[in-house]
Amino acid sequence: MPGADGADRLGTDYGPLAAALADRDAVGVVAVGDRFDDDLRYLTRFSGPDRDYAFVAGAVAGSDDPHTALCAPALFDEQARREFPGDEVRTDRQGDPAGVRAAAALADAGHDSGTVLVPQGIPHDAAVYLEDAGYEVTSTDAVARARETKTDAELDRLRRVQRAAIRGIRRAETVLAEATVDADADEVRWNGGVLSTERLRRQVNEVLAAHGVRDAGNTVVGAGATAADLHYTGTDVIRPGETVLLDVSPRGPDGYYGDVTRTFAVDPDGGWERRAYLAVEAAREAALEAVAAGVPASTVHEEAAAELAAHGFRVDSDEVGFTHSTGHGVGVSLHEGPSLTADEPLEAGNVLTVEPGVYDPAEGGVRLEDLVVVAEDGFEFLGEYPFSLVPRERV
């Protein structure tokens, strides 16, 4: 059955594409991009090369199921056949631009004109090739929408990568628990040297690699002022007492991301960081309590913001206090729908981060983040890990 999960292969439900084709009276859905295009990854499950290839779902007269094709580079033929859950891998017209190859696949499916639906970010040249071939190109959010609801097989992938991400956090917490304070130099030391954010990051990334996922450039480690910088991936010395924020979001072999954040302090003095931690803990609790199918997504954010405001933190600034949204969807993109600032109701199968935080460039940053799947009557964690401001050895 086209699109279904195989023994080793992740399937894709092409039903939403069929619905969009019928709804818009279109002849096909076309996506073009390279290995870094997440719509294409979702539609094809093919982790192809760093040059453009194409996916085509062509409407079939008298059938509800479109005919799905992957126009793959010839050198990746075998891999494409192994990974693509759709109907056909095409390697004809090598050397032609992906947009031209997509038009040829549509023509072979019996469509030489009509409306073609494309994701908004399709490369301009591909859109122009389709127009030149006689199709009317119009954008669709059907792919982005389809991605928002996860299948059991996708949840399985998300759980696996989240487990690896948590192992990374565990390693970092253990390193911080083992670390000592050099009060004279105002530095945290570990294993014979000064502990920097980059040293700690490499400890995390080694664990990710050992568990078969990759850091994807997303292992955020900040300390003090750089913990207030939401996505710090640079080198900074870790000072005693200041907040150390770790946001670990690796990508697994099927393209799904994990995402977990914990914040620690080595020898905290009980000032700002303690107040911030308590506030974020309470906000996390309030936000999680709001998560359930049917609840407007923005409610989750509002609950977290109300709790942080009640604890005396600003929620209206870009620089101090709660400066971001409470979370985002996670899938083959690290950030995807649903948005927790939108009023649309959450649906069972949505996978969300819940990640309240407060920041002050003069003090540091505190964020706690977990990944959950929305259920009819609440949610389920895709991985659990304890939290405390003072790091403990966890083995």
CB of 50 to a second copy, least distance (A): 5
Torsion of CA 17, 21, 27, 33, to 10 degrees: -30
CB of 251 to a second copy, least distance (A): 7
Tokens of 131: 């127009």
Q: Quick one: 6 or 217, whose CB is closer to a second copy? A: 217
Distance (Å, whole) CA 143 – CA 337? 11
The DSSP 8-state label assigned to residue 101 in this structure reads H
Q: Quick one: 121 or 296, whose CB is closer to a second copy? A: 121
> Which residues are CB-neighbours of 63 under 8 A, at least 6 positions away?
none
Q: Are strands 378-381 and 370-375 parallel, antiparallel or unpaired?
A: antiparallel
Chain length of the chain: 395
> Which residues are CB-neighbours of 16 under 8 A, at least 6 positions away?
142, 143, 145, 146
Distance (Å, whole) CA 268 – CA 312? 20
Q: Quick one: 37 or 273, whose CB is closer to a second copy? A: 37
Q: Quick one: 22 or 194, whose CB is closer to a second copy? A: 194
Q: Quick one: 268 or 365, whose CB is closer to a second copy? A: 365
CB of 68 to a second copy, least distance (A): 22
* Long-range residue pairs from 336-339, CB within 8 A, at least 24 positions apart, any chain: 336/38, 336/144, 336/147, 336/148, 337/144, 337/145, 337/147, 337/148, 338/148, 338/297, 339/297
CB of 380 to a second copy, least distance (A): 25
Minimal CA–CA distance to 364: which of 269, 267, 273, 261? 273
Q: Quick one: 91 or 180, whose CB is closer to a second copy? A: 91
Identify whether the C-beta of residue 145 lies closer than 8 Å to the C-beta of residue 337. Answer: yes
> Which residues are CB-neighbours of 390 under 8 A, at least 6 positions away?
264, 265, 268
CB of 125 to a second copy, least distance (A): 5
CB of 15 to a second copy, least distance (A): 25
Q: Quick one: 214 or 311, whose CB is closer to a second copy? A: 214
CB of 92 to a second copy, least distance (A): 13
Q: Which residues pair with 296 in a beta bridge?
A: 345
CA 374 to chain CA centroid, Å, is 16
CB of 222 to a second copy, least distance (A): 11
Q: Is 354 in a helix, a strand, or coil?
A: strand
Q: Quick one: 18 or 39, whose CB is closer to a second copy? A: 39
| Residues in contact with a second copy by the rule CB under 8 A | 35-37, 47, 49-52, 74-79, 82, 118, 120-127, 137, 139, 198, 202, 205-206, 208-212, 214-217, 229-234, 251, 253, 318, 323-324, 333-335
